[in-house]
């Protein structure tokens, strides 16, 4: 399966996809990486792993539509578009160009804490459990059908940085797993519901705060 990956920053989720492909665990190729930021460290990862990349900056275009058209053109031929820390809100026009072919990794258990700084939102809310979500991208921000989620504990002395790093360690497993499921044709979308054939839905992680009562 041919991937097009959109990034804006460090690219650790991109690296997780690269590692999965290079280890043989992920039967895909990354045909193009597109960054909206010239200095994104994700591009250093592309250079290191000889992955084609483009920088397409919003400020170089007079309209959002022209910006997105350039990205759509660059993504021609891919089977799946992966938003891996891509920090731009995409229009309905873009999404319609790739119907149910765009996925995103978000650092919360949607529908909680949508948008930017989801980790900080969870901390400020006082949540004891947060997590990460891989979902299909729809026009409504971070609200598309959920493919898979992972729970992550929030510790009393957490900062935004410590919590973000902990969530990232789960993201790096969740995103490649979701991409592999899609490449295997196991993901079926039925309205808001997504069913993954053969996935384990029965067991939940232990609830650490739950005491014997």
Ligand X SMILES: NCC(=O)N[C@@H]1O[C@H](COP(=O)([O-])[O-])[C@@H](O)[C@H]1O
Ligand Y SMILES: Nc1nc2c(c(=O)[nH]1)N[C@@H](CN(C=O)c1ccc(C(=O)N[C@@H](CCC(=O)O)C(=O)O)cc1)CN2
Stretch that binds ligand Y, among 18-26, 88-96, 180-188, 203-211 (CB under 6 A): 88-96
Helices 160-183 and 118-125 pack at an angle, to 10 degrees, of: 130
12 is in an annotated binding site: yes
Examine residue 116 and tell whether it contacts ligand Y (CB under 6 A).
Answer: yes
87 is in an annotated binding site: yes
167 is in an annotated binding site: no
90 binds, among ligand X, ligand Y, none (CB under 5 to 8 A by kind): ligand Y
37 is in an annotated binding site: no
Helices 12-22 and 160-183 pack at an angle, to 10 degrees, of: 40
Could you say which of 139, 153, 162, 164 contacts ligand Y (CB under 6 A)? 139
Examine residue 89 and tell whether it contacts ligand Y (CB under 6 A).
Answer: yes
Residues near ligand X, by CB under 6 A: 9-13, 84-85, 105-107, 116, 118, 168, 171
105 is in an annotated binding site: no
139 binds, among ligand Y, ligand X, none (CB under 5 to 8 A by kind): ligand Y
HEC readout, the chain: CEEEEEECCCCHHHHHHHHHHHCCCCCCEEEEEEECCCCCCHHHHHHHCCCCEEECCHHHCCCHHHHHHHHHHHCCCCCEEEECCCCCCCCHHHHHHCCCCEEEEECCCCCCCCCCCHHHHHHHHCCCEEEEEEEECCCCCCCCCEEEEEEEECCCCCCHHHHHHHHHHHHHHHHHHHHHHHHCCCEEEECCEEEECCCCCCCCCCCCCCCCC
Stretch that binds ligand Y, among 24-32, 69-77, 80-88, 169-177 (CB under 6 A): 80-88
Q: Does residue 172 carry a catalytic annotation? A: no
The CB-of-145 to ligand Y minimum distance in angstroms stands at 11
Could you say which of 1, 141, 146, 199 contacts ligand Y (CB under 6 A)? 141
49, 93, 106, 197: which is the annotated catalytic residue?
Answer: 106
The CB-of-171 to ligand X minimum distance in angstroms stands at 5
**Quick one: 32 exposed, middle or buried, by C-beta within 10 A (0-12, 13-18, 19+)?**
buried
Nearer to ligand Y, 8 or 49 (CB): 8
Nearer to ligand Y, 89 or 189 (CB): 89
Examine residue 146 and tell whether it contacts ligand Y (CB under 6 A).
Answer: no
- Give strand pairing partners of 194: 189
Please give the positions annotated as active site: 106
């Amino acid at each position: 399966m041919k991937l097009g990956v959109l990034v804006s920053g460090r690219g650790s989720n991109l690296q997780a996809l690269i590692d999965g492909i290079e280890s043989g665990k992920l039967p895909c190729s990354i045909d193009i990486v597109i960054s909206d930021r010239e200095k994104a460290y994700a591009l250093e990862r592309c250079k290191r792993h000889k992955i084609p990349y483009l920088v397409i900056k919003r400020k170089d275009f007079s309209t959002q539509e022209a910006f997105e058209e350039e990205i759509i053109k660059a993504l021609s031929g891919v089977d799946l578009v992966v938003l891996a820390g891509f920090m731009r809100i995409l229009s309905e026009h873009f999404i319609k160009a790739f119907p149910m072919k765009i996925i995103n990794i978000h650092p919360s258990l949607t529908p909680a804490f949508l948008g930017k700084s989801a980790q900080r939102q969870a901390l400020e809310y006082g949540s004891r459990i947060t997590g990460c979500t891989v979902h299909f991208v729809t026009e409504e921000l971070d609200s598309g059908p959920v493919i898979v989620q992972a729970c992550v504990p929030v510790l009393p002395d957490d900062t935004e940085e410590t919590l973000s790093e902990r969530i990232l360690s789960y993201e790096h497993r969740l995103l490649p797993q979701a991409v592999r499921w899609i490449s295997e044709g196991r993901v079926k979308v039925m309205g808001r519901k997504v069913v993954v054939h053969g996935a384990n839905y029965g067991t939940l992680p232990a609830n650490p705060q739950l005491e014997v009562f």
